[in-house]
């Protein structure tokens, strides 16, 4: 019996050769169509290998244009070069610390990440930040102390320290302070230097920046252009050869996926679509990817993207969108008053429902003003649409409409908000 079920499983048409190659974390050995960007960034960081401070560089480009993979690639090569005694006979010390600011969203957290990083605490170094901290943590220490530790380790070892701050727009607290600290440290250091590579896909970051921070961070600027369909095809093909069994992905399918993804020039989307189409093909037991599988994959990937956007929202925005979803599935006041269909909701009723959910979860509801901000942000993310009402019985108000299935949104959030156990008490 056992043999038979495995027999069947094994004999099922194999679609993938190596799924790892299609995973979002895989960085290929070559990055086609980014040769120029790689060269530019290599040139920006190379002075570190001569003990000179590289310029701080700000890198901007829309999502999926290869910023993260290109920068990670270059700093990996930089470290390999520096760690090779034949290539670096004078033993110049280069250390790179990469972080994503989505999880390091304050000046303090950024500094902690730098100082607690293994590379700055290597036993070969003097005056390492954690040397007098048996619990290997610097939490709770004041920022001045952190600054001194950074200064000491860089200065006493003559380190060329390169910080990669990915998604730098996510640093909400103390960004200008952080830029100031990093400028000042270079002025004060006798030996070594600290330089920054800042990455973002949010162009507003630059406009919002204090002019002083801007001139610190943007000594050089690089823009990553969206990929066109032809470029996306090369990127896809590179993964198909090693990721899929032969004959599973026809050229027509590659062109189709590249054409979809070329609307935003987004390689991540292209790769997601490819992998999902492969999974669908495998699950239905077909031999090769067909157009209909790509179409289906497109819906699935879009849903995943929305789910991801919702599940990474801050808690109060999640509460607001949850309230909107709950009201939408129940049918809001407008529907009841007007007897018309449609999912329009009054701002007021959404706020009331939000307040009730806050109470249910023992959270303090934010003010109406902050609530309005949340609505604007949800609209910018494309999760809701808003329109002004005409003059009516209730004066002018904003109507809110959910962009996606309310049930889906509720099921994504029920768990993360901890509403599962409280379901019975759900406010009406």
List of residues contacting ligand ATP (CB under 6 A):
24, 27-28, 31-34, 61, 63-69, 201, 235, 267-268, 271
133 binds, among Mg ion, ligand ATP, none (CB under 5 to 8 A by kind): none
Q: Kindly state the smallest distance separating residue 167's Cβ from Mg ion, in Å.
A: 7
Closest CB to ligand ATP among residues 186, 255: 255
Q: Residue number with the shortest CB distance to Mg ion?
A: 68
Closest CB to ligand ATP among residues 34, 113: 34
Q: Residue number with the shortest CB distance to ligand ATP?
A: 66
Q: Kindly state the smallest distance separating residue 264's Cβ from Mg ion, in Å.
A: 14
Please state the φ and ψ torsions of residue 403, each to the nearest 5 degrees. -85, -15
Q: Kindly state the smallest distance separating residue 19's Cβ from ligand ATP, in Å.
A: 13
300 binds, among ligand ATP, Mg ion, none (CB under 5 to 8 A by kind): none
Residues of this chain that interact with Mg ion (CB under 5 A) are 68
Q: Look-up: residue for tokens 């790689």?
A: 38
Q: Kindly state the smallest distance separating residue 93's Cβ from Mg ion, in Å.
A: 27
d(CA 30, CA 13): 30
271 binds, among ligand ATP, Mg ion, none (CB under 5 to 8 A by kind): ligand ATP
Q: Kindly state the smallest distance separating residue 168's Cβ from ligand ATP, in Å.
A: 11
d(CA 83, CA 81): 5
Q: What is the DSSP letter of 418?
A: T
| Sheet strands side by side (includes 57-61) | 93-100, 159-166, 193-200, 57-61, 220-224
Q: Kindly state the smallest distance separating residue 347's Cβ from ligand ATP, in Å.
A: 32
d(CA 333, CA 321): 17
64 binds, among ligand ATP, Mg ion, none (CB under 5 to 8 A by kind): ligand ATP
277 binds, among ligand ATP, Mg ion, none (CB under 5 to 8 A by kind): none
d(CA 171, CA 162): 18
**What CA–CA distances, in Å, run from 314 to 69, 309, 318, 378, 381?**
27, 10, 6, 11, 13
384 binds, among ligand ATP, Mg ion, none (CB under 5 to 8 A by kind): none
Handedness of CA 371, 372, 378, 381 (dihedral sign): negative
How crowded is the C-beta side of 399, counted as CA atoms within 13 Å? 18
Closest CB to ligand ATP among residues 28, 342: 28
d(CA 329, CA 253): 38
């Amino acid at each position: 019996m056992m043999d038979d079920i495995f027999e069947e499983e094994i004999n099922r048409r194999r679609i993938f050769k190596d799924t790892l190659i299609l995973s979002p974390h895989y960085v290929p050995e070559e990055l086609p169509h980014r040769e120029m960007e790689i060269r530019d960034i290599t040139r920006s960081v190379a002075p570190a290998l001569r003990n000179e401070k590289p310029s701080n560089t700000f890198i901007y480009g829309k999502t999926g244009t290869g910023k993260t993979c290109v920068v990670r690639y270059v700093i990996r090569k930089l470290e390999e070069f520096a760690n090779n005694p034949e290539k670096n006979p004078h033993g110049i010390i280069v250390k790179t610390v990469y972080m994503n600011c989505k999880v390091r969203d304050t000046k303090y957290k950024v500094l902690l990440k730098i100082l607690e990083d293994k590379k700055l605490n290597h036993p070969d170094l003097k005056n390492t930040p954690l040397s007098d901290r048996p619990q290997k943590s610097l939490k709770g220490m004041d920022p001045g102390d952190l600054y001194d530790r950074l200064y000491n380790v860089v200065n006493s070892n003559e380190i060329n320290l390169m910080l990669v701050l990915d998604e730098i727009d996510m640093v909400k607290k103390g960004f200008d302070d952080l830029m100031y600290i990093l400028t000042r440290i270079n002025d004060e250091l006798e030996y070594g230097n600290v330089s920054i590579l800042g990455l973002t896909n949010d162009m507003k970051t630059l406009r919002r920046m204090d002019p002083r921070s801007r001139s610190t961070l943007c000594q050089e600027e690089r823009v990553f252009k969206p990929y066109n369909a032809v470029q996306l095809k090369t990127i896809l093909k590179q993964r198909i050869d090693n990721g899929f069994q032969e004959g599973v992905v026809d050229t027509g399918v590659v062109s189709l996926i590249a054409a979809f993804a070329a609307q935003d020039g987004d390689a991540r989307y292209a790769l997601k679509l490819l992998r999902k189409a492969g999974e669908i093909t495998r699950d239905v037991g077909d031999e090769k990817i067909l157009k209909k599988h790509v179409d289906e994959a497109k819906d699935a990937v879009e849903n995943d993207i929305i789910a991801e956007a919702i599940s990474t929202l801050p808690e109060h925005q999640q509460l607001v969108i949850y309230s909107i979803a709950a009201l939408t599935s129940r049918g809001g006041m407008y529907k009841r008053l007007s007897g018309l269909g449609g999912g329009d909701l009054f701002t007021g009723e959404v706020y009331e429902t939000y307040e009730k959910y806050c109470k249910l979860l023992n959270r303090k509801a934010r003010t109406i003003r902050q609530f309005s901000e949340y609505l604007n942000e949800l609209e910018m993310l494309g999760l809701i649409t808003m329109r002004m009402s005409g003059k009516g019985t209730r004066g002018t108000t904003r109507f809110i409409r959910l962009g996606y299935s309310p049930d889906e949104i509720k099921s994504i959030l029920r768990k993360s908000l901890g509403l599962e156990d409280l379901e019975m008490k759900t406010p009406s």
